[in-house]
Amino acid sequence: MSLGRYVLSRTAQTIPVVFGVILLNFTIIRLAPGDPALLLGGEVVATTPEFREALLRELGLDRPLWEQLLRYIVNVLRFDLGYSYAYRSPVATVILERIPATLLLMGSSLIFAAVLGIVLGLNAGKRPYSPFDNILTVFSLTGYSMPNFWLGLMLLLVFGLILGWLPIAGMYTIGGGLEGVEYMLDVLKHLILPAIVLGTSQLALYARLTRTSMIEVMMQDYITTARAKGCHERHIIYDHALKNAMLAPITAIGVNLGFVLSGAVLTETVFAWPGIGRLAYDAIFIRDYPVLMGIFIMATFLVVLASITTDIIYAFLDPRIRYR
């Protein structure tokens, strides 16, 4: 299969997922207890029966069910995710405004976790069961046994409140009036704690994956061959082993995006980071269902996109995949 055909068939596979999620969203709202107009329109609806009628008509809730579903699918595909009465603007706009902050947070945590995780895992995998490897195993277990929001609370307590080294909330100093480099440094300072919190369980995962695959790779015949040829150990590790050992953590990055996104909801809530996670928290608080549904759909799109991208990168790096 050529790479182009692989990309096409891989993309086609995701169509059922996208439709499935749209259908799921639709079903949840129809099964919900109470008035769907109240659910989608929020508190405003309760004011007058006329408004309720108008909203029902506008949302098409007076039409037969199949027509509602069809309409809903078409709307979502046109990126019309409904209207948020709390924000008085289309859901898609509300969500899009928050995406850059979330991407900044997720991107930073990913770089932190992937770089450090691969370096640590590599060194542990070189000498399995050495003291360094054992410490890393304990660290990894700790890292993914901890609720990430609780780690956030603890770091906020120690570094923000007790030591006072880092800011504890928001993305920049409000009313600071900073510009240029100073502004960037300010954002960076606000970014440190949330990025570490969001990155910790990923770091644990990547370190462990790299360690395991490093141990496996070091047992391969081509490593023995390289050794027999008299290659320098350093050359073997960095030029022969590392490239192959990195495949596992790189694939995991894409698969893991959904978890990272859920982690972002909790992390952003702790640190008042103005991304989609915090938006979800606020939406829960005021029961803004259109926004919650929109975030779910959006999150699915992002995850699907990431999984396609990683699979393609992987197929590009490792041609064997395409022939399966």
Partner 1 sequence: MSGAFWTAHTNQMKEFWRRYRKNRAAVVGLSIIIFLGVIALMAPYVTPYDPWEINFEDKLVAPSSKYPLGTDHFGRNVLTRIIYGARLSLTIGFVAASIAATVGTLLGSFSGYFGGKIDHILMRFTEMFMVIPTFFLNLLVIAVFGGSIWNVMAVIGMTTWPTPARLIRSQFLSLKEREFVEAARLTGASDRKIIFRHILPNAVGPVIVSASLQVAGAILTEAGLSFLGLGDIHQVTWGQMLYRALAYIRNAWWIATFPGIAIFVTVLSFNLVGDGLNDVLNPRLKER
Residues near partner 1 (CB under 8 A) are 14, 16-17, 20-21, 24-25, 28-29, 32-33, 39, 141-142, 144-147, 149-150, 153-154, 156-157, 161, 216, 258-259, 261-262, 265-266, 269-270, 280-281, 283-285, 287, 289, 292-293, 295-296, 299-300, 303-304, 307
Give the shortest CB-182-to-partner 1 separation in angstroms.
Answer: 28
Contact 287, 86 (CB under 8 A): no
Q: What separation in angstroms does the CA of 73 have from each of 26, 195, 296?
A: 9, 36, 15
Question: Which CB sits closer to partner 1, 169 or 192?
Answer: 169
Question: Which CB sits closer to partner 1, 69 or 153?
Answer: 153
Give the shortest CB-160-to-partner 1 separation in angstroms.
Answer: 9
Separation CA 121–CA 100 (nearest Å): 30
32 Cβ partners below 8 Å, 6+ apart? 39
Q: For residue 49, count CB atoms less than 10 angstroms from its CB and return exposed for 0-12, middle for 13-18, buried for 19 or more.
A: exposed
Give the shortest CB-300-to-partner 1 separation in angstroms.
Answer: 5
Question: Which CB sits closer to partner 1, 72 or 289?
Answer: 289
Residues facing residue 231 across a β-bridge: none
Question: Which CB sits closer to partner 1, 249 or 263?
Answer: 263
> φ and ψ at 84, to 5 degrees?
-95, 115
Give the shortest CB-219-to-partner 1 separation in angstroms.
Answer: 9
Give the shortest CB-31-to-partner 1 separation in angstroms.
Answer: 8
Contact 81, 91 (CB under 8 A): yes
Separation CA 187–CA 167 (nearest Å): 10
Question: Which CB sits closer to partner 1, 34 or 177?
Answer: 34
